[in-house]
Amino acid sequence: MTGVISGSGQWAYVVAAYALTALLIAAVLGHSWRAMRKAERRSDALRRDRT
Amino acid sequence: MHAYANPTRFLAIARPLTPWLLGLGTVLLLAGAWAGLAVVPGEAKQGETARILYVHVPAAWLGMGGWTALAVSGLVQLVWRHPLAGIAARAIAVPGMLFTALCLATGSIWGKPTWGTWWEWDGRMTSMLVLLFLYAGFIALTMGDTGGNGGQRQGGSLSRGAAVYALVGAINIPIINRSVVWWNSLHQGPSITVRGSSIDGALLWPLGLTLLGFSFLFGAIVLMRMRRIIADNRVAARLRRLADDEGSGV
Amino acid sequence: MKAKHQRLILALVALVGVAGAGVLAASALRDEAAYFRTPTEVAAGAAATGEAMRLGGMVASGSLQRQPDGLTIRFVATDGEASVPVEYKGIVPDLFAEDSGMIADGRMRADGVFVADRILAKHDERYVPPQMSHPPKTGKATPAA
């Protein structure tokens, strides 16, 4: 009983944690980007209509 | 147009800053992840699972930092009625909740092989879960107050209730911070304090990279969401003016 | 009126959620505080025989023994001042080892042995690369909650 976890089973946890992080951040980034582009295009279009 | 004076100045900075934060944040985060996964060795006792630290710790700090910023925005809104305060608070809530959720999820993934359990009702974990619920509550509170014209409340400001909620919720932040000392049960004590770090230098440096990367991406998300709210406000204001013009026969 | 109602409902949902979380947290933490004992507290008589409790401490150096059945382990939990013998039948987490922190759920037997039905390994706040071994932590591993 050395107390050190050995074997490749550990990497499954590490990969799961990193993959989840990447996935969730990418999802929120993507959503925020698309929502911003859509809103700013709408705003720009209205401004052009007026002038 | 007075109310827009500040958002206009803000946009002049936010527009060029957004791609920089996005690019730098992504590069730093990738570099930190590569360093944490491939460059540094595993930890002496935990082995490879200690690498989860590099995503877990920045997520925890940003989750807590997010609410601190939210509370400051709430205060600025209540006291000075700055037109950007409410917009900022709305924009911070989503990434704050994201990083809090990531902190809980990665902590749970780390806990299973390390402690032998996915979850314990330990002081640190419970108070962090409360923070997640606080974020959810704030988003629910501010999502609903659309002011009846499809846009945000007048100029994206917060209702008094939401601003007070943001302030009151800040009580949880010092509780999270002290939880490992007050209820010493399962979660280990703080590794990094003002007095230094109990993480060896050889294992510490990738944390700097991921922390900067996470912070820049947090900033990028906040800027994008603020720009979106400002654009929505302008559209709502223009449509209102157009409707008024037609109504008065001009 | 519809938007106003919607807002009211959302606000109520948020309020109930936060209040619920707070009550849940408060009760969980109160239970935890009442439930958690250190070896010093046990030695001072804070644990009645048969009462469900949680014991936190370090696994004393050289005390870990595996019984012939291969499943039962015995060790001494210590906080540097007092120690309590522990018996546990089952699989322990990988990080469970001598000179490491642990938390055990169970109850005291009449003969003064703590019988655990669950053991969790506690990691300390130090992270070191494998070339440097963990020196045994001095002082109390788990200060009184």
- pLDDT value for B129: 92
DSSP string spanning B102-163?
A: HHHHHHHHHHHHHTS-S----HHHHHHHHHHHHHHHHHHHHHH--TTSSS-SGGGPPPHHHH
Mean pLDDT score of chain C: 78
Kindly state whether residue C73 falls inside one of the protein's structural domains. Answer: yes
Q: Which of A10-14, B205-209, B221-225 has the highest mean pLDDT?
A: B221-225
Query: Residues C6, C68: one domain?
Result: no
Residue C130 lies in a domain: no
pLDDT value, residue C140 = 39
Residues C23 and C45 in one domain: no
Strands C53-59 and C101-108: antiparallel
Confidence (pTM)? 0.83
Q: Is residue C137 part of a domain?
A: no
Percent of chain B predicted with pLDDT > 90: 46
Cβ contacts from B onto C, under 8 A: 149
In a domain, C128, yes or no: no
Chain C residues with CB under 8 Å of A2 CB are: 97
To the nearest whole angstrom, how far is the Cα of C6 from the nearest Cα of chain B?
Answer: 7
- With contact defined as 3+ CB pairs under 8 Å, the chains touching B are A, C
Q: Check CB contact under 8 Å for A3 and C64.
A: no
- Mutation target among A4, A13, A20, A44 for the B interface, most CBs of B within 10 A: A13
In a domain, C61, yes or no: yes
Domain boundaries in chain A? 11-50
pLDDT above 90 for B218: yes
| Average pLDDT taken over every residue of chain B | 87
What is the extent of the structural domain holding C7? 1-33
Question: For every one of its 145 residues, what pLDDT tens digit does chain C have, with 9 covering 90 and above?
Answer: 566 676 667 667 767 777 777 777 777 666 666 678 888 888 887 777 888 888 888 898 888 888 888 788 999 999 888 889 999 988 888 788 888 889 898 988 888 899 998 899 888 778 887 765 555 444 434 433 3
Q: Structural domain boundaries of chain B?
A: 17-188+204-249
Q: Suggest the residue from C59, C71, C92, C94 to mutate for an interface test with chain A (most A CBs closer than 10 A).
A: C94
The pLDDT of residue B149 is 46
> What mean pLDDT comes out for the span B175-203?
81
Burial B143-180 (b: 16+ CB within 10 A, else e): ebbebeeebbbebbbbbeebbebbbebbebbebbeebb
- Asked whether residue C145 is assigned to any structural domain, the reply reads no
Q: Do residue C51 and residue C103 come from a single domain?
A: yes
Q: How many domains does chain C have?
A: 2
Q: Does B89 touch chain A (CB under 8 A)?
A: no
**A5 → closest Cβ in C64, C95, C100:** C95
- Domain membership flag for residue C136: no
Q: Do residues C81 and C28 both lie within one domain?
A: no
pLDDT at C23: 76
Shared domain check, C60 and C3: no
Which pLDDT score is estimated for B43? 84
Contacts of A47 in chain B (CB under 8 A): 234, 238
Could C64 and A5 be called an inter-chain contact, meaning their C-beta atoms sit closer than 8 Å?
A: no
Residue B56: what pLDDT?
95
In the three-class reduction of DSSP (H, G, I as helix; E, B as strand; rest coil), residue C79 is classed as coil
β-pair partners for C114? C86, C108
Q: Using an 8 Å CB-CB cutoff, list chain C residues near B97.
A: none
Residues of chain C above pLDDT 90, percent: 10
Q: Per-residue pLDDT tens for B52-75? A: 999 999 999 999 999 999 999 999
Judgement on whether residues C49 and C90 belong to the same structural domain of the protein: yes
Say yes or no for a CB contact (<8 Å) between C96 and A2: no
Taking the Cβ of residue C142 and every Cβ of chain A, the question of whether any pair is shorter than 8 Å is answered with no
The verdict on C11 and C49 lying in the same domain is: no
- Do C48 and C109 belong to one domain? yes
Dihedral pair phi/psi, residue B184, rounded to 5°: -75, 95
Question: In the predicted model, what is the mean pLDDT of residues B161-171?
Answer: 88
Tens of pLDDT, residue by residue over A12-44, are: 999 999 999 999 999 999 999 999 999 999 998
Residues of C in Cβ contact (< 8 Å) with B35:
none
Return the structure tokens found at B180. 């490992």
DSSP state of C127: B
CATH at residue C70: 2.40.50.140
When CB atoms are compared, the residue of C124, C129, C143 closest to B41 is C129
Top-ranked range on mean pLDDT: pick from B138-152, B173-187, B202-216: B202-216
